């Protein structure tokens, strides 16, 4: 299978690092013009430079915006009003007990993880429908299916993402526009290391930390290791392609078998 996104424009939110940057790089490698988004201009510039890696930089553009706010979402929409592929990836997380979180913590996480995608899809999906083609992909998490006790707030938000994605898909049947979500499992990113070390302890290699985390918190993993961001990006690039035209309203897992279900 050869995926060619030449002539398409893609927007990947939260693509300054981690899974988002890998997705942006994958779409760029497939020929798309890619709009990179991060919270800061420094993050945007660094991601664009890394993705370009000396070539095809003319197909890359960066926009700094805080998508956890309505103003930030509006600024990004103004900067990139028409895209063929929308990847709602931006998200935040931190480990903390459910009883320790203040109202503003719950609200900030919901605004970033859920409302960012709602605002982007609310603008872009109808415009895709007008053109008769489009791909919208929400990045959820296996935490939305298996709510982690150390991050109930994060699991809540990722469960909401699954519902939102299905709801938008239900809203545009037979239009040539597909809406799906992807469900990563534990993935090796800059953020995952920062998350795990306080839970497990210092003085261990990253491989040891990950192995211990899977043993204690995700023993159902069939992969037996963390996924790499590029492995998640591969699935997203497929969903962004012509070849995925019959896949919509779905939650596709790249969770390493963590979720013990065939559905």
Active site residues: 154
- Taking CB atoms within 8 Å and a gap of at least 24, the contacts of 191-195 are 191/17, 191/18, 191/93, 192/226, 195/93, 195/94, 195/95
C-alpha distance from residue 174 to each of 79, 123, 126, 170, 244 (Å): 29, 19, 13, 10, 14
SS3 at position 254: strand
Q: How far apart are the first and last CA of the chain?
A: 25
Give dist(CA 174, CA 164) in Å, integer. 18
SS3 at position 85: strand
């Amino acid at each position: 299978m050869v995926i060619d996104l030449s002539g398409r424009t893609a927007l990947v939110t939260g693509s300054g690092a981690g899974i988002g940057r890998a997705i942006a790089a994958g779409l760029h490698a497939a020929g798309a013009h890619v709009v990179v988004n991060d919270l800061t201009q420094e993050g945007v510039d660094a991601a664009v430079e890394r993705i370009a890696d000396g070539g095809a930089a003319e197909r890359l553009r960066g926009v700094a915006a805080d998508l956890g706010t309505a103003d930030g979402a509006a600024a990004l929409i103004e900067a990139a009003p028409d895209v063929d592929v929308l990847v709602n990836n931006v998200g935040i997380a931190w480990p903390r007990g459910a009883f320790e979180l203040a109202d503003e913590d719950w609200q900030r996480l919901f605004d970033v993880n859920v409302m960012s995608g709602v605002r982007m899809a609310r603008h872009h999906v109808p415009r895709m429908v007008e053109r008769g083609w489009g791909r919208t992909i929400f990045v959820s998490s296996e935490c939305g299916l298996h709510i982690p006790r150390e991050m109930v707030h994060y699991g809540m938000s990722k469960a909401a993402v699954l519902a939102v994605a299905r709801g938008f898909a239900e809203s545009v049947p037979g239009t040539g526009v597909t809406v799906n979500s992807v469900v990563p499992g534990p993935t090796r990113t800059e953020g995952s290391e920062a998350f795990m070390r306080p839970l497990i302890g210092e003085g261990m290699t990253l491989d040891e930390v990950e192995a211990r985390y899977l043993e204690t918190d995700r023993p159902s993993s069939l992969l037996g290791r963390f996924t790499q961001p590029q492995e998640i990006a591969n699935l997203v690039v497929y969903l962004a392609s012509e070849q995925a035209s019959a896949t919509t309203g779905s939650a596709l897992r790249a969770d390493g078998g963590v979720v013990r279900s065939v559905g």
